[in-house]
């Protein structure tokens, strides 16, 4: 009986920590398979929501029994943000009527609480220095598994479950084509890349304090998988955050090694380099001077990132753009013959007119052809890829207009659809200045407790705090191009790891 009581006491003392460790593995590794789809959206109830429900329930029970604690200063900051989110929801639901589907607005508001609550659970389980280093190792094990699966996806045809569009979000197993960007166990390549750029500075910091080759190998694997995602913004975030971190801690020789390694891997894979070259392309396009419609002659293939309709007009319009042999070799998606393309546009316009049942006489047809032909003018331009063009022409202006409608509270959660592809504009558009300011207040206080407090030097273990801060910096760079703090796997991971570091820091202060 005594052994039984001892066993039950051990479970009682450690159940929250064990569940958190399970969640650390579950979040990145379990695919986003839907359990229940929410109406009017492709967001769904998934297994991680149920797991978090259990984890939160146990945390509340342990709080009431005083076997867990709540960090009050951070709880006040988080509560201010949550209150600003729900204030925006209630105002835009019942007063301004900006939120059409009330249940979506409520679920989007609740999601902010859901992602961030793990910060307090994670913080609470750190009772000793050993707890921190034990749990953070499980985080590294999960990265090992994510990267190995990603490589298996690239070379062994492992399946993927993605939510990049409404059809994929139904939970289909996808087998990627050779040129497709890998996503490992994540919902898309952007999410996976964000996860890795956050983790890499932390991995390197542990390599420097332990000098174990396993951390160096994990870094190299993470970098390889990051490059295979071909995410340009994440790669840029990696370059800025990682090299800034290495220079800050004065690892100059190691930074040269990392630089050469990065260049070699980029040249070996090639896909990321191609995507960078496709970001802006010099092209001769057709513009309808009457309507402003843009027509870009290009061969659309699964291997290429097509050009979008956003363009910058070049000054020299006298000569057509001439592609040299090197450009043609590097640009498989070269523009097609403009004269032929122009005739195709004219024929499409004629079909649009005749599809309504109208019969054109030869005179009317010739007049229509002459008018369309006269309006279509070829111009030399620099065009962006479709990814950047969509953000610049649709998503970002939509968020800015939402912010203009209500500077203080925005137009409410869910009001500017599931994606804005810029977290800063999303916060401003949905929550206004109030929500954006309170969120940044949380991040500032986290950085204050990690980066600015390292001057006190937690013996040699201050390096991971620097690594964590630069990892957060990488996420903030990513947030300029994707909704990184809204991606569940990335958001859960960030708030868990942030809680671990803050828990360790607070424990150090008390001792």
Give the pLDDT confidence of 57-89 residue by residue, as tens digits.
Answer: 999 999 998 888 899 999 999 999 999 999 999
Rg (the chain; Cα; Å): 26
pTM above 0.85, yes or no: yes
Burial class for 393, CB neighbours closer than 10 Å (0-12, 13-18, 19+): middle
Predicted pLDDT at 455: 59
Rounded (10°) angle between helices 488-510 and 47-64: 20
Predicted pLDDT at 303: 54
Say which DSSP state 334 is in: P
Predicted pLDDT at 494: 97
CA 44 from centre of chain: 18
Residue in this structure with the two tokens 């930074």, named with its chain if needed = 255
- Which segments of the chain have a pLDDT < 50? 324-334
Predicted pLDDT at 501: 95
Predicted pLDDT at 160: 86
Predicted pLDDT at 244: 96
- Dist. CA 364–CA 353, nearest whole Å: 11
Residue in this structure with the two tokens 């001769």, named with its chain if needed = 284
Predicted pLDDT at 333: 44
DSSP, residue by residue, 112-154: HHHHHHHHHHHHHT--SHHHHHHHHHHHHHHHHHHHHHHHHHH
Predicted pLDDT at 341: 65
Tokens of 74: 């951070």
Predicted pLDDT at 300: 60
- Dist. CA 62–CA 58, nearest whole Å: 6
């Amino acid at each position: 009986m005594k052994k039984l009581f001892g066993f039950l006491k051990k479970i009682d003392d450690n159940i929250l920590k064990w569940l958190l460790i399970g969640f650390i593995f579950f979040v990145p590794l379990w695919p986003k398979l839907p359990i229940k789809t929410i109406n009017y959206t492709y967001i769904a109830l998934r297994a991680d929501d149920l797991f978090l429900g259990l984890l939160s329930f146990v945390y509340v029970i342990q709080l009431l029994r005083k076997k867990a604690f709540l960090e009050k200063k951070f709880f006040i900051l988080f509560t201010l943000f949550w209150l600003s989110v729900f204030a925006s929801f209630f105002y835009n639901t019942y007063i301004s009527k900006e939120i059409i589907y009330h249940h979506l607005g409520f679920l989007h508001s609740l999601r902010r609480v859901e992602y961030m609550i793990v910060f307090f659970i994670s913080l609470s389980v750190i009772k000793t220095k050993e707890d921190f280093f034990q749990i953070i190792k499980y985080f590294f094990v999960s990265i090992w598994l994510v990267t190995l699966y990603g490589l298996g996806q690239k070379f062994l045809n492992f399946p993927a479950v993605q939510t990049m569009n409404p059809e994929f979000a139904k939970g289909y197993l996808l087998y990627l084509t050779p040129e497709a960007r890998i996503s490992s166990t994540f919902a898309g390549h952007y999410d996976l890349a964000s996860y890795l750029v956050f983790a890499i500075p932390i991995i390197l910091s542990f390599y420097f304090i332990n000098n174990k080759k396993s951390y160096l190998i994990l870094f190299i694997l993470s970098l390889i998988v990051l490059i295979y995602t071909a995410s340009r913004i994440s790669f840029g975030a990696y370059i800025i955050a990682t090299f800034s971190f290495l220079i800050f801690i004065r690892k100059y020789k190691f930074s040269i090694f990392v630089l050469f390694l990065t260049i070699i891997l980029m040249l070996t894979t090639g896909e990321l380099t191609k995507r960078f070259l496709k970001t802006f392309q010099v092209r001769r396009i057709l513009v309808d001077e009457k309507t402003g419609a843009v027509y870009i002659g290009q061969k659309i293939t699964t291997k290429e990132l097509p050009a979008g309709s956003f363009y910058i007009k070049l000054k020299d319009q006298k000569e057509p753009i001439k592609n040299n042999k090197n450009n043609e070799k590097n640009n498989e998606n070269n523009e097609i013959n403009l004269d032929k393309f122009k005739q195709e546009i004219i024929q499409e316009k004629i079909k649009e007119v005749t599809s309504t049942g109208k019969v054109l006489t030869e005179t009317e047809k010739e007049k229509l052809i002459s008018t369309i032909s006269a309006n279509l003018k070829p111009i030399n331009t620099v065009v962006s890829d479709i990814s950047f063009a969509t953000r610049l022409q649709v998503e970002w202006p939509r968020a800015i207009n939402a912010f203009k409608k209500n500077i203080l509270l925005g137009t409410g959660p869910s009001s500017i659809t599931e994606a804005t592809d810029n977290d800063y504009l999303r916060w401003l558009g949905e929550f206004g200045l109030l929500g954006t300011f309170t969120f940044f207040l949380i991040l500032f206080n986290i950085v204050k407790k990690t980066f600015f407090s390292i001057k006190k030097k937690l013996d040699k273990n201050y390096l991971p705090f620097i690594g964590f801060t630069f990892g957060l910096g990488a996420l903030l760079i990513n947030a300029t191009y994707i909704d990184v703090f809204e991606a569940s796997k990335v958001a859960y991971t960030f708030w868990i790891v942030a809680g671990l570091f803050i828990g360790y820091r607070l424990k150090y202060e008390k001792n």
